[in-house]
Amino acid sequence: MAIDEQPSSPKANLNQAIDLINSGQIGAAMRICRDALKTDADDVNMTALLGAMLLKSREMGLAEKYLRRAIELAPNFAKPHEDLGFLLFETGRPTEAVEVLETATRLDPQSEPAFYTLGRALAAIGKGTESDVAFEASFELDPQRKQLALAAEHHKAGRTEEAERAYRDLLRVDPNNVDAMRLLAGIVANRHDSDEAEPLLRKAIASAPDFYLALLDLGGILHEQHRYAEAIECFESAVELEPNSSRSHFMLASTRSPAGQTYQALDSYRRVLELKPQHAGAWLGFGHTLKTVGHQAEAIEAYRESIKARPNNGESYWSLANLKTYELSKDDIRAMESSLEDNEGLTDQSAVNFLFALAKVNEDSGRFDQAWNYYQQGNGKQRSLEHYDPVQTEVSNDEIIQVFDEPFLRGNTGLGNPSVAPIFIVGLPRSGSTLIEQILASHSLVEGTSELPYIGRVATSLNRNRADGVNYPFAARELRDTNFPALGQDYLNQANAHRQTDKPHFIDKNPNNFPSIGLIHLLLPNAKIIDARRYPLDSTLSCYRQLFAKGQTFVYDLIEIGEYFLQYQRMMDHWHQVLPDRVLTVQYEDVVTDLEGQVRRLLAYCELPWEDACVRFHETERPIRTASSEQVRQPIYSKSIHFWRNYEAHLGQLIDVLKPVLPNYKQYESINQDDSASSVV
């Protein structure tokens, strides 16, 4: 393995390059290697070292060139054989890798990594017996590798308790084993213990900054927690390490989109599709993002490509149907019906998507009874996939009402962050909140963002480090004067990650914030809060007819939707009682029948000057990330008013549940679909 000792100057250069590598200065080390090779193109040590660094930097083409040159210069030099074998395996050439790695292990029988990669390459070409022999040789040289492999075997077989014990045992012996850290983090993350998973992954990355898989895993955890800026940083680092990996670009695209980096997300999706043209998930995400920016024709094309790449993925068909303004073809209908009938390889989630799409097709053709049959099937199947407890909803609301009473709110009003920037739009989904958002976001002083999760995150942050088990909302009673502005600033800091402009106001259109109005009032006393409301039967039925991406777990059962509306009404009645005039209620039917009047009312409440653009909201070009995106790009229309009457024969249970609140909306029962503000175009 030893190479004849070189003259002192080349040896000094080699040592300097190695020192730079050890200190993490890879670029500087590469420059020394390249400069040395200009002087002596046959310097095998510099050639092999440069090839190894290029491999580490994932520049596979150049790395292969230098590694093969090193082997040509010194056929008995084991390390470039080991590196080249690893490169060949990583680039999908296991047969070639086996030949090179067998030479590497013959030249250096103590090279544990060479034996391990040889085992993987042999397994990839179906040589199981030879693979086992290579792995055993690797394990003999590194017993901890064997322990890790046994733990991973448990993990793969679903024996997670045994795997977790094995990973923890290994880390007690070798606390810096980054593979064990990452794999243990995966287990604890799957049981939603991110408080342990995140530090494990951060420690692994600190020990191995180029640990690509750990960066992806950490980014995934941060994405799940809506910590998009941090997740994007992880994925961008992964892209730097693996610029030709479709996986890292896809995860970056999937995070940029909800983070409000819509156009950057489009660029990332395009890069995925350059690298992997048949990536069904990328075509689907690309379609969603194109829809967000209003490029409907391109979105349709992307959804069609997604169907070609994965015909059994019902989400692509539902996405086409959910454009609201697009009609699926007879061939589409046959394909969906065929997929449901065959059921081979069809996931429950895809089946739900097909059922909702077929419901929409029948509904658009006026076949309401057939549509209802599909809606019932789709909702029933989706309900079985959700975890929703209506009793817990009621109990939670009981606690909020108990804590946020009039004396508590009066005693702490005005202590929070004084920012006037946030405008919250709350209510039930499908109640006109996107329309209100589009009206306000058409104003030159207002930026529309998205449905932000951060008020909920601020609330749950009060639960941390509480050994006594006191959680939100009761923990709110223990806040001190200094806590209110600090928590308000926490919300603003997180929301700012979604801001793309410096406009003085921004909209947080998360309908699920309505139980948190008391908290919003205390933390952000100058924020505006708008309640988007709609006739109860239209509001609840529209929820039942919509397949949501996630988060609205109460909408897939008619009785549960009705009961949820009663809870919503109860909470809003409470807020109007304890915070009179704090929340502006905007009724969808009023907006449709008197657009200009309601726009003036909205702008007056938000203390914004009149701008004609707000009544021409459909002309405003901006990303819109909700199911109503295509609808609010049209002039105001009234065809959705009392749409529930098309399904009245099927709504007996829902009507019975909603009877206590229907008298509150009696004035809207006589509105016809012809009574819209049709003069506003």
Can you tell me the distance from the alpha carbon of 307 to that of 304, in angstroms, rounded to the nearest whole number? 5
Please give the Cα distance from 70 to 73 (Å, whole number).
5
pLDDT (0 to 100) of residue 680:
31
Of 558, 535, 515, which Cα lies nearest the Cα of 638? 535
Q: For 632-671, what is the HEC assignment?
A: HHCCCCCCCCCHHHHHHHHCHHHHHHHCCCHHHHHHHCCC
Q: Closest Cα partner for 435 from 641, 188, 207?
A: 641
Mean pLDDT to the nearest integer, 649-670: 95
The mean pLDDT value for 510-533 works out to 97
Among 35-39, 233-237, 411-415, 627-631, whose mean pLDDT is lowest?
627-631
Instruction: Say if residues 633 and 618 touch (Cβ distance below 8 Å).
Output: yes
Nearest to 505, CA basis, from 424, 568, 561, 585: 424
**What is the predicted pLDDT for the residue at 274?**
96
Backbone angles phi, psi at 157, to 5 degrees: -80, 0
For every residue of 73-128, DSSP letters joined together read: H-TT-HHHHHHHHHHHHHTT-HHHHHHHHHHHHHH-TT-HHHHHHHHHHHHHTT-H
At residue 3, the pLDDT reads 44
Check residues 489 and 12 and name the one with the higher pLDDT: 489
Over residues 92-111, the mean pLDDT reads: 94
State the average pLDDT over residues 558-586: 97
Sequence ranges of the domains in the chain = 390-668
681's CB contacts (< 8 A; 6+ apart) are 635
- pTM for this entry: 0.78
Name the DSSP letter for residue 512.
Answer: G
Determine what percent of the chain falls in helix, strand and coil, rounding each to the nearest 5: 65, 5, 30
Q: Is the pLDDT of residue 681 over 50?
A: no
Q: What's the confidence (pLDDT) of residue 242? A: 85
Residue 323 is given by DSSP the state T
Contact between 575 and 517 under an 8 Å Cβ cutoff? The reply is yes
Q: Give pLDDT, residue 51.
A: 93
Burial of 28 per CB tally in 10 Å (0-12, 13-18, 19+): middle
- Per-residue pLDDT band for 631 (boundaries 50, 70, 90) equals low
Kindly indicate the confidence band of residue 646, based on its pLDDT and cuts at 50, 70 and 90.
very high
CATH dotted code for 390-668: 3.40.50.300
Q: How confident is the model at residue 8 (pLDDT cuts 50, 70, 90)?
A: very low
- Residue 107 reports pLDDT greater than 50: yes
- Exposed, middle or buried: residue 301 (CB in 10 Å: 0-12, 13-18, 19+)? middle
Indicate the pairing of strand 505-508 with strand 422-427: parallel
pLDDT confidence bin for 265, thresholds 50/70/90: very high
